[in-house]
Chain A
Amino acid sequence: GIQVEQSPPDLILQEGANSTLRCNFSDSVNNLQWFHQNPWGQLINLFYIPSGTKQNGRLSATTVATERYSLLYISSSQTTDSGVYFCAVEGSGTYKYIFGTGTRLKVLA
C-alpha cells in the first residue's frame, strides 16, 4: 500500500518563528489533506490540497503531486499552534485515507 512519511517528527519553536512541515508519499494520490490535532485530542481539517497551493491566514500548503510531496507552512507561530500535524492521502483507485505518523509541534511563549 501507499506509504506516507512526515518530517520532522518533532519540532520546537519560539513564538513568532516560521516553520515548514513536509509530507512525502510513495504513489500517486487522488486526495491529500492536512490535519491538526490539538493537545486535547481533537482533529481539525486544515487543508484539502491534492495539488497546488492554498493559504488560510498564517498557514499555507503546497502539494507537488508529480514529485509526491506536500509542504505545510506555519508563519509567525503562536502557542495555540502546538499539537500534532498529520498529512493524509487517498491513493488512486481507493476510498481510503492513509495517515502519516505526524509532526509534533511545540511553540514556546
Chain B
Amino acid sequence: DAGITQSPRHKVTETGTPVTLRCHQTENHRYMYWYRQDPGHGLRLIHYSYGVKDTDKGEVSDGYSVSRSKTEDFLLTLESATSSQTSVYFCAISDSVDRVVAFFGQGTRLTVV
C-alpha cells in the first residue's frame, strides 16, 4: 500500500464546530494537496503545500485553513463547519522532480449536520 493515510475516514459534525482532517505520508514527498470531491464538480483543490510551512490557496479555499509543521503531516481545518462543506476530502502527494501526483489517500467522508 502507498504510504499515505487520512484520518478520520468518516466524520459527522455539527454546524459551527471546528474540524481537523489529517493527512500523513511516509514517502518523504515535498508536495501535498487537499481536494474536495462533490457530484458534478470533480475534484477541486482547496490548499496545497510545497514544503514545510509553505502553503498556498487553491480554487476553493474559503472557510478552510491548513498547516504543515513537518514533511509527513498536512492538516486541513474547517474553522466553523457549514453544511456546504459536506463532501469527500482527498489528500494527495507528489515528489519534487516533476511533481507527478503519485498517490491519493483513501478519502474522508465528512458530513456537517
Contact = CB atoms under 8 A, between A and B. Distances in A.
Interface of A: 1, 30-31, 33, 35, 41-45, 48, 86, 88, 90, 95-102
Interface of B: 31, 33, 35, 40-45, 48, 50, 56, 58-59, 88, 90, 92, 94, 98-104, 106-107
A25 to B, nearest CB: 13
**Dominant secondary structure at the B interface:** strand
Closest 7 A/B residue pairs (Cβ): A43-B104, A101-B42, A99-B43, A48-B100, A99-B42, A102-B42, A95-B50
Interface of A is mostly: strand
A84 B50 CA distance: 28
A90 B99 contact: yes
A99 B31 CA distance: 17
A43 B99 CA distance: 17
Given A96-B48, A99-B43, A102-B42, A1 B59 contact: yes
